[in-house]
Structures are given as C-alpha cells and as structure tokens.
Amino acid sequence: MVQTAQDDTLHRRGLMFILSSPSGAGKTTIARMLLAADMELAVSVSATTRPMRSGEVDGKDYHFVTQAEFDRMVEAGEFYEWAHVFGHSYGTPKGAIRAGLKAGQDFLFDIDWQGTQQLYQKAERDVVRVFILPPSLAELSNRLIGRGTDSAEVIAARMARAQAEISHWDGYDYVVINDDVEVCFAKVHEILNAERMRRTRQTGLIDFVRELTRG
C-alpha cells in the first residue's frame, strides 16, 4: 500500500474528489496518475443505458441497465446526478458511494462543471472540487492535436467550447495549471492528502483526543 498522509489508525470519512478541466487540459492524465499512485482512491462506477462495448465489464466499467431500470432509479432518487449524453442515460448511483465514504474510501470523479454543481448540491461536505487549466490556449490546441484521438472538426469544436468551460473556474475549491505534468500531479495529490486531514473528516479524532487528554 502506498504511503499517504493518512496512514494512521484513526478512522476518517472518505471524500468525493472531483477533477474537471476544459477538454485536452490533462484531466484524464492526472486522474490516471492519481489512481496509479494512491490505493485509497477508487473510481465511482456509473450506471448507463448504452450497450456494452467489447472489452467492457458490467459492474467495473459501468453498471449496464435497461432504460426502465434507469427510470426507476431516477424516480427512487438513487442517483447523485444523471444526464443524457449522446442519446443514452448516465448516472452516479448513491448506494456504493455512501457505503464507501462511511468506510473511509475516497472516490475520484472525472466530470464537467454541470456534474460538479449537481454533486456539490447533493453532498457539499464530502466534495472537493479541483479545476485544471492549460498554460495557454495554444498549448491546449497542441495537446488536442498531439493526443491524436480527434478529427480536425472535433478539435475545432473542443477549442470553441474551451473558453466557456474555462469560465467556470470560480465554481471550484482549487485551481491548478497543468504546465509540467509531474508538478501538476504532485500539487493535485497534495490537495487530496490535505483534504483527508480536515478535522471534520477525521471521525476517529473524538475518541483519540478523549483518550489523549484523560488524566
């Protein structure tokens, strides 16, 4: 297990760690680095109505559900947030996250500003919001081209949306500029470790301090 700032015996409540950025600024890269480096962090598994792609595993990549089941979950209030994306429904189920948070598990969310607002409204005290900015628009464009996953049209559309996405920077607790990727990753990891030590998350503190100050 990787050493973290929270490697002690005190119980703490987990947190919901949100990473957002304009497309291409490096959110996926930083998310992968965090997950590889930090064993206390897990990804939340969403529910979706879209068909399973080859190689995907039900319960790992997504919980694949029918539209009727998805609608029932919406009605029953079982999602923190949900949305229609590219003709299918996607949502973040509350059950596993609630149980995990109580047990001290942290969850990583790689979501946009709208999803962030919804999660914050539902679970303000458990949420930590981090926004990643590119060092410049020229560099953002270079990264989208360099990634090699999108056509010129898609890259142009992502660049056109970038300014609007950047305008949501003030809806976040932390803002980190992703210039050097290792430096950015280290800063984001520091934020995660510091937030773990927030007094209100350290549910084991009351008993510890009571014991510490007895007699």
Per CB under 6 A, the segment of 3-11, 88-96, 100-108, 176-184 that binds ligand ADP is 176-184
Separation between Cα atoms, residue 115 and residue 76, nearest integer Å? 19
**Which spans of this chain sit near ligand 5GP (rule: CB under 6 A)?**
46, 50, 81, 83, 85-86, 90-92, 115
Residues ≥6 apart with Cβ < 8 Å to 188: 19, 30, 34, 130, 132, 176
Q: Does 23 bind ligand ADP (CB under 6 A)?
A: yes
Query: If contact means CB under 5 to 8 A according to the sort of partner, which of ligand ADP, ligand 5GP, none does residue 92 touch?
Result: ligand 5GP
Per CB under 6 A, the segment of 9-17, 49-57, 96-104, 173-181 that binds ligand ADP is 173-181
Q: Does 146 bind ligand ADP (CB under 6 A)?
A: yes
3-class SS string, 112-152? CHHHHHHHHHHHHHHEEEEEEECCCHHHHHHHHHHHCCCCH
Separation between Cα atoms, residue 136 and residue 143, nearest integer Å? 11
Query: If contact means CB under 5 to 8 A according to the sort of partner, which of ligand ADP, ligand 5GP, none does residue 28 touch?
Result: ligand ADP
Looking at residue 62, what DSSP letter applies?
B
Binding site for ligand ADP (CB under 6 A): 21, 23-29, 143, 146-147, 178, 180-181, 184
